[in-house]
Amino acid sequence: MLVLSRQKDESIMIGDGIRITVVDVRGDKVRLGITAPKDVKVFRAELYEEIQRQNREALQPAPEDVDKLKDLLG
Amino acid sequence: MADSRVQIQTTRFGSLSVPEAACYAFPEGILGFPGLTRYALFDNPGGGPLKWLQCLEDPALAFVCCDPALFVPGYRVAVHREDLQGLSLERVEDGHVLVILVIAKVPSESTANLLGPVVLNVPARLGKQLVLSDSEHSSRHPLFSATKA
């Protein structure tokens, strides 16, 4: 992993289109500003990972469990 | 053309015939399953309000989903303009929202992922899983209230 040191108001560029700026540093919290093309998705990593995890859990449920839920729904 | 049907392969139901109109392109795939971009949506063959989102490129890749209104009245998706563009969605009424369910062994403990809804552009047959980053919705919303008798 590439590690760079940056101070407040300094930026890094990722390719031509993505700029990440350190907006504020307070204690152990860093605020980042991100400028990216509209088709580049930017999320907190844990949010992205959580949805991936839920998708994997949702995958191919056991047929009998689907039927049980269906029956529960009436 | 409206009547054309396609034969799809599913692990769960074997070979099924679905209307071509029920086949959607997901250019960005479903999160966690990159490179798989074609899905069919069909009603649960066993009946009821549940639907299956079945990958056309992998018979074993299938999700159960449903209309969120079934469990969460008033669920609204704040969709960003860039998401709408990705779906070529110009009219709200062309959009259709589904949520993916995690079906538990104890069915009453099943949950819906309200944080990552699937939005379809029905006429264009395009789909996308959104990530509601500015949302207070849960990724594991219980389908049934814990206080249920």
**Per the structure block, which two tokens stand in for B24?**
């959607």
Query: How far is A58 from chain B, CA to nearest CA, in Å?
Result: 4
How high is the pLDDT of residue B62?
A: 96
Q: Is A47's Cβ below 8 Å from some Cβ in B? A: yes
The string of pLDDT tens digits covering residues A11-60 is: 999 999 999 999 999 999 999 999 999 778 788 899 989 999 999 999 98
- Is B46 in contact with A66 (Cβ distance < 8 A)? yes
How high is the pLDDT of residue B115?
A: 93
**Dihedral (CA of B16, B22, B27, B31) sign:** negative
Cβ contacts of B140 on chain A, cutoff 8 Å: 54
Query: How far is B70 from chain A, CA to nearest CA, in Å?
Result: 9
Higher per-residue pLDDT: B92 or B18: B18
The string of pLDDT tens digits covering residues B69-126 is: 988 888 888 777 777 777 888 887 888 999 999 999 898 999 999 999 999 999 999 9
How high is the pLDDT of residue B146?
A: 59
How high is the pLDDT of residue B89?
A: 83
With tokens 């959607």, the residue in question is B24
ipTM of this complex: 0.87
Higher per-residue pLDDT: B14 or B82: B14
Q: Is A45's Cβ below 8 Å from some Cβ in B? A: no
How high is the pLDDT of residue B118?
A: 96
CA distance B80 to B57: 29
Smallest CA–CA distance from A64 into chain B, residue: B105
Coil, strand, or helix at residue B33? Answer: strand
How high is the pLDDT of residue B39?
A: 98
CB pairs under 8 A between A and B: 98
Q: Is B144's Cβ below 8 Å from some Cβ in A? A: yes
- Classify residue A74 by burial, with Cβ atoms within 10 Å: 0-12, 13-18, 19+: exposed
